[in-house]
Structure 1
Amino acid sequence: MTRPFTLYMDETGNRHPDKKSDKSREGRDWFGFGGILVRGEDNDSIRKLVDGFSTKWKLMGPAHITDMLSEKKHFAKLERMSQVEREEFWTDWRRVLCSAPVIGVGCVVDRPGYVARGYLEKHGNSRWLLCRSAFDITVERSVKIARLEGRKLHVVFEQDPGINETVTGYFRNLKENGLAFDAKNSEKYKPLSKDEFGETLGRIQHKPKAHPLLQLADSYIYSMSRHRYDKKFGLYRHLRDSKRIADFALDNEHLPQLGVKYYCFD
């Protein structure tokens, strides 16, 4: 039997549409939920890539992209390295990201755009709807990719005591009831039926940030999100050129139903 896909998911940005934007995020205020799809037979080889990187650079914690870019926490040592060493560090991490046999998937929401379209007023009593929308879209597109290869789909997300049960509830609802989006508005995306979700979805688990594949998911969803605001962001360009993002890894006939979803952008 074909081994399943696993979707490793992480968040980036603020999931609450009613929270004021941080001034440091001006001009790129997003919420993204997504990461990487991994075939079961590739799991061990990807772990080795991440472990090898961590060992070489003597990391004292997970490769978290915002800490790496800002050179904070256990990446403060980057500031003390020579430029040659820093370039080697980033070359190594890009090599891990681009050589891992994964497919980058996700949904990125422009928070100001979400508010401007009136969704906050319409769903003001449901502050979690933005997060749920991004989760449901990402999982549905991942299910479609899994079905192309006749595989089941499991989900692993980065644990957080405040949201573990909420995200698990999103998953169970998809598996039991399917999507809740307006049928007419979503018709062009060829939404899956409740039965198709039930047939394909397996289990969901939450794991700590240090999980090797969640470290990759973190860099992927950040890169896919930042790209929409910063077209010259280098990590995304490398992933694009390596055909690791769904938009470039899949045949054109399956797009736009399976590509990265950018939501509430002009």
Structure 2
Amino acid sequence: MPSLTLYLDESGARHPDRASGLPARSDWFAMGGVLIRQEDKTQAKELRDALAEKWALTSPFHITDMINERAKFSWLGRRTQLERDAFWSEYREFLANVPVVGIGCVIDRAGYAARGYVKKHEDRWLLCRSAFDIVVERAAKYAVSQGRKLNVVFEADAAMNSVVEGYFSNLRENGLKFDKGNSGKYQPFSQADFYATLTSIENRPKENKILQIADSYIYAIARRAYDKKFDVYRRLLDANRIIDCLLEKADVPALGVKYYCFDK
């Protein structure tokens, strides 16, 4: 059976009890990125390389460094406004043209704390595990709807590699651990569903070209919760690159991007 690959990245502070330094109105932890078919990976890499060559970009794409014009992207701060506008226009078009589907889980950290979850759960990794379980389950459901299995690739982090791989193994072997009374409305996958759909997980360095695309996607998906006019996200929406665009409206709550612990 053919497969989809979920390229998974993080945005924000994963520890529920650690200050992020961000204001409460934009303090998120998000996990997600892009789903891509095996047969589309070459095209995605070629589009990425074409943009890098045009702008002489030699370091991995990292959208927060781009936006803040820092580190390897400090050169943007020395360009004219016309040049900056040209860069961002081309970057948005690149992201919109890559043959991927954006997916993610975004947790409002202030809302998470306000609901008492920090004190209720002793597991300091729970914020990360919750986001992982949610986004992988939704990606797996989408893969099944496309007649495919699901592989997962995530950015390597020596401190987290075994933890994330453990989350994956736990889903295959035990399924979800969310409260059934609260999660039933989302039509959760069973353990047997996970075992039949999830095939492999592996970590790759940040130099991985598709992970660099995932970095921009999950940032845009997360920021949309606090800034509905964020131009990168709006361009992805226009191009139908967000999973919600590909679903029936009734299916979005169970299959689309999950915004968790936000006040309605």
Structure 2 residue 186 is matched with structure 1 residue 189 = yes
What is the SS of the residue equivalent to 1:244?
coil
Match of 1:111 in 2: 109
What is the aligned partner in structure 2 of residue 229 from structure 1? Answer: 226
Give 1:50's aligned residue.
48
Paired AA for residue 13 in structure 2: N
Structure 2 residues without counterparts, runs of 5 or longer: none
How far is 1:253 from its partner?
Answer: 4.1
Contact 2:27 2:108 in 1 (8 A): yes
User: For residues 259 and 90 of structure 1, what CA distance do their matches in structure 2 show?
Assistant: 27
Number of the residue aligned with 1:207: 204
Q: CA deviation at 1:241?
A: 1.1
For residues 122-167 of structure 1, give each alpha carbon's deviation from its aligned partner in whole angstroms, at most 9, with x where no partner exists.
10x2110010000000000000000001101000001111101000
CA separation in 2, counterparts of 1:93 and 1:157? Answer: 22
2:136 is the alignment partner of 1:139: yes
Quote how far apart the aligned CAs of 1:230 are. Answer: 1.0
- Tell me how far 1:60 sits from its aligned partner: 2.3
| Residue 11 (structure 1) aligned with residue 13 (structure 2) | no
- Gaps (5+ residues) in structure 1? none
- Output the amino acid matched with 2:54: K
Question: C-alpha distance in 1, partners of 2:250/2:106?
Answer: 22
* 8 Å Cα contact 2:24-2:110 kept in structure 1: no
**SS in structure 2 of the partner of residue 12 of structure 1:** strand
Q: Where does 1:120-199 land on structure 2 (aligned, <5 Å)?
A: 120-123=118-121, 125-199=122-196
Identity %: 54
**Equivalent residues of 2:12, 2:20 under 8 A apart:** no
TM-score scaled to structure 1, two decimals?
0.96
Alpha-carbon distance, 1:85 to partner? 1.6
Tell me which amino acid in the other structure corresponds to 1:50: R
In the comparison of the two structures, how many residue pairs are matched?
Answer: 263
List structure 1 segments (4+ residues) > 3 angstroms apart after TM superposition: none
CA deviations on 1:16-63 (whole Å, 9 max, x unpaired) are 1111241x4442000000000001111110010111111111112111
TM-score, normalising length: structure 2: 0.97
Taking a change above 3 Å as real, the CA distance of residues 25 and 56 of structure 1, as seen in their structure-2 partners, is farther
AA aligned opposite 1:12: S
Whichever residue aligns with residue 108 of structure 1, its letter is: V
Aligned to 1:69: 67
Equivalent-residue separation in structure 2 for 1:254 and 1:116 (angstroms): 28
Q: Is the 8 A contact 2:140 2:198 kept in 1?
A: yes
2:229 and 2:148 map into 1 onto residues whose CA distance is 35
Measure, in 2, the Cα distance between the counterparts of 1:94 and 1:249.
20
Partner of 1:30 in structure 2? 28
Mean Cα displacement is larger for which, 93-102 or 29-38?
93-102
